[in-house]
Every structure is written in C-alpha cells, then in structure tokens.
A and B are shown apart, each in its own frame.
Chain A
Amino acid sequence: VLTGFGDGRPRSRDRWPAVVPLVCRPPDSSPYRDRCAAAWTCARAREVRASTNPSSPRLSGEGRLTHWEMGEVKPSQPTAKCRCGSSFTRATAETERGRGNSQRRYERGATCKESSGGRRERCPLTVRRTCPHPEQGRSASRRTHRNVRTMFVVYSVMIVGGIVFFVTVGFTQ
C-alpha cells in the first residue's frame, strides 16, 4: 500500500501507484441521490494499491476516504471529474505512469458499479489528461487564472461601456 499519493513528490517509475480509486458521491454523503453537474464531488482514496502491471488499470475498491474535494485534475492532486447517473455510482480507476519527472500522464478508464452492488459496466467516457509537473502546474494555473480574468474584464467593459454610451445618448440627444 502506498500512502500520501498526490503530495507532488517525484517517485521512481516502479513505485507509481497504479490504481487510484475514485468514487462519486453526493457531497454530504447522504444516501445516494442524483447530484451531478455543479454538485458532484469526487472522493479520493488515500490508500492505493500497487499493480503488478501498471499499464492495465484495475478497480481496487474504495479504500479509505480522507477528504472530499471538487473533481478536477490538479497538478499535484490528480483527482478526476466524475459524472454520476441516477442509478449508478461510478468508481473510477485511474492509472498514473511516470514520464520522467517533468510530466505525468493520467489515463482514466471508468467502471460503473450499480448502487446496489453487483453488476458492473463500462462508463461511456474514457478521459485522457496530461498533467504538468507540479512546478509547471502552478505557473500554468496562474496563467489560466489570468486568461479567464481577461475575458471577465472584456465582457465587463463591453457591457458597462455600452450602457454608459447609450444612457449618455439618451440624456443628450
């Protein structure tokens, strides 16, 4: 068992945890309700199980859940977006393979597990993401924040500018 996964420390390839179980649940852990879109959360199990074959993802069970967090891929905390259907919880197996120390690749194949247990089926989505090294990730995150802020400013200027212009026209013409 490897613990402390997601702390951003570089590991040698043979020590990469092969399977990180993710479970979509309602945020308040109440009996399963259909809460997707803005409300979904992904719980990341802290305990992960090393696979003998890192290239073949396996579902390893829920593990011990340590905290809830919004599902998004962070450079140092590779949680994954989950989508929950009305009658399925989706346990997601995520494999992580080292690509040197500068880049990690997360390949996620999802498995749907019926709420009542038992039948499993393949999720419709397979997501591939490439996450930068944590150091690169922080600067990339700042850049993304600036990019998004730029569009917020552009729209604000268009709207406020338009209103000021036309109200002025209404007052003066």
Chain B
Amino acid sequence: MRRFVRENGLSLFFATIFLATLVGQTFAGQHNFNAERVAHGQETISWWHYVRTPSFGGAVMENWQSEFLQFSLFIAATIWLVQKGSNESKALGDSGLESDEQQQVGSHTPSRGARWAKADDFRTRIYENSLLIVMTLIFLATWFGQSLNNWRVFNAEQATHGAASVSWGRYLLNPDFWEKTLQNWQSEFLAVGTMVVFTIYLRQRGSPESKPVGAPHDETATSG
C-alpha cells in the first residue's frame, strides 16, 4: 500500500483534491441554488436533488470542457510551434512529428515499449496520436454535456419569465451558450500562454514544470 501511494502520489493527490472540491461545489451550489429559490418563493431542494439539476451539471461540464480543450490544444500546438527559452516547448529545431527513431516507433521501439508502437501499421498511427485523440474526445463530450445542461437551465429561465423555450440547436447559437463557453476558454488560454512564457525566466527548484534553477534563460526544453 505504501509503495502504491509513493508511486502514484501525483495522481492520487489530484484525484483527492478533485473529489473534495467537487463535493464542496455541490454543497456551496445547493445553498446558493436554494437561496435563489427562497427569494423567488419556491421550495428548497435536497442535496441529491441539486446534484441532478442541469444547473449543477452545466457548471461542472463547462469547466471540464475548457480544461480538456486547453490540454488538447497544447498537445497539438507544441508539435509544431516552439518558444525559445521555454520549458514547455521542444527545442527550436525539433518542430514537427520527428523521426521514427526519435519517437521509438516500429523497429526503434525498445523491448519493453508499447505493443502498438512496435506494430508499425494502422495501430501505430492510432497509438502515436492517442493522447490527443482521447483528450479531444473528452473535450467534445463535455462540451456537448455543457450545451445540454445549460440549454435546460436557459429554457427553465425562459419559462420563469413567460418566454418561449428554444430548441437545442437554436441554443447553440445563443449568446448565453457562447458567453459561458468563451469565459472559460479565455482563462485557460491565458494560463497556458503564461506558463509557456514565464518558464523562460522564472524557476521552481525541483519541479519538472520548470527549467533547472541555474539554466540559461535562452535554454529551451529542459526540465529541472
């Protein structure tokens, strides 16, 4: 057990704080939701009822989609684009998909390497893009989830104000959907760009997300 925790500390840490904050969000969201219902003369709802509301689902999904979009774009952009001096970038001459030897594909796959990397056929083509494929699929699925939930919320508000409900397709063109989408995207793009640029000059000793403390500012693609 101790070995398991030591070898998976990073993923366990983030899984724990993810679940803790998600649960925290449910309670804070329920209180906020009920406060608004009381203000409108409506009955309060239970915690479990709130967890199954589109209001909570939309809030969760719109944050998830932006995070997975952020990483999908970062994975894709760093294949071809570089930033001199940044820890988050490849070396300047390495932009592109790189050679099979560099990527350890086919006959260059080490003995303990992934089976699909050795196959050197369609399986290799899938496997060599699997990270981007899966992250993009999760982004699209969560964005779809956001649209469904926020659409329900939007129509509930329309009903409250005596306005006509809209179809899901119409809602995708509605400013409400795009405001909720873009407000999340912009913050992710700023954070990623900041990370790319700040790692040129700033350091964190011991973190692989930083260059070594003493590394020159123009040194690219080194981990501390």
* A and B are interacting partners: yes
B 39-82 to A, binary, CB cutoff 8 A, 1 in contact else 0: 00000000000001110011011001000000000000000000
- Least CB separation from B88: chain A residue: A37
* CB under 8 Å from chain B, chain A span 18-41: 27-28, 33-37, 39
Residues of B near A35 (CB, < 8 A) are: 91, 94, 221
Residues of A near B12 (CB, < 8 A) are: 151
A169 in contact with B57 (CB, 8 Å)? yes
B32 contacts chain A at the CB level, 8 A cutoff: no
How many residues from B make CB contacts under 8 Å with A?
47
Q: How far is the CB of A81 from chain B (nearest CB, A)?
A: 11
Stretch at the interface among A48-56, A58-66, A93-101, A152-160: A152-160
A154 to B4, CA, bound (A): 14
Given the interface pairs A33-B93, A154-B15, the reply to whether A147 lies near B3 with Cβ below 8 Å is yes
Partner of A167, one of B8, B15, B91, B144: B144
A7 contacts chain B at the CB level, 8 A cutoff: no
A173 in contact with B8 (CB, 8 Å)? no
A170 contacts chain B at the CB level, 8 A cutoff: yes
Residues of A near B52 (CB, < 8 A) are: 169, 173
Residues of A near B208 (CB, < 8 A) are: 37
Partner of A155, one of B15, B215, B220: B15
Partner of B7, one of A147, A162, A163, A165: A147
Residues of A near B3 (CB, < 8 A) are: 143, 147
A170 in contact with B223 (CB, 8 Å)? no
A170 to B110, CA, bound (A): 46
- Least CB separation from B168: chain A residue: A170
A86 contacts chain B at the CB level, 8 A cutoff: yes
Partner of A158, one of B15, B57, B87, B215: B15
B54 in contact with A170 (CB, 8 Å)? yes
A 87-107 to B, binary, CB cutoff 8 A, 1 in contact else 0: 000000000000000000000
A 65-87 to B, binary, CB cutoff 8 A, 1 in contact else 0: 00001100000000000011110
Q: How far is the CB of A83 from chain B (nearest CB, A)?
A: 8
Given the interface pairs A124-B212, A154-B15, A166-B60, the reply to whether A85 lies near B222 with Cβ below 8 Å is yes
Partner of A148, one of B7, B141, B220: B7
A166 in contact with B7 (CB, 8 Å)? no
A12 contacts chain B at the CB level, 8 A cutoff: no
Given the interface pairs A33-B91, A167-B145, the reply to whether A158 lies near B222 with Cβ below 8 Å is no
A35, A165, A169, A171: residue with the most chain B Cβ atoms closer than 10 Å: A169
Q: How far is the CB of A79 from chain B (nearest CB, A)?
A: 11
A171 in contact with B148 (CB, 8 Å)? yes
Given the interface pairs A33-B93, A36-B221, A170-B149, the reply to whether A163 lies near B142 with Cβ below 8 Å is yes
Give residues in B with beta carbon < 8 Å to A.
Answer: 3-4, 7-8, 11-12, 15, 18-19, 52-54, 57-58, 60-61, 64, 87, 90-91, 93-94, 99, 101-102, 104, 110, 138, 141-142, 144-145, 147-149, 151-152, 208, 212, 214-216, 219-223
6 pairs from A and B in contact (CB 8 Å cutoff): A39-B221, A86-B215, A148-B8, A150-B4, A166-B149, A170-B54
8 closest Cβ pairs, A-B complex? A170-B148, A166-B57, A37-B223, A170-B149, A151-B11, A169-B57, A36-B222, A86-B219
- 14 other A-B residue contacts (CB within 8 Å) besides A34-B220, A85-B219, A158-B15: A28-B99, A37-B221, A39-B102, A70-B110, A83-B212, A83-B222, A86-B216, A147-B8, A154-B11, A159-B138, A165-B57, A170-B145, A173-B52, A173-B53
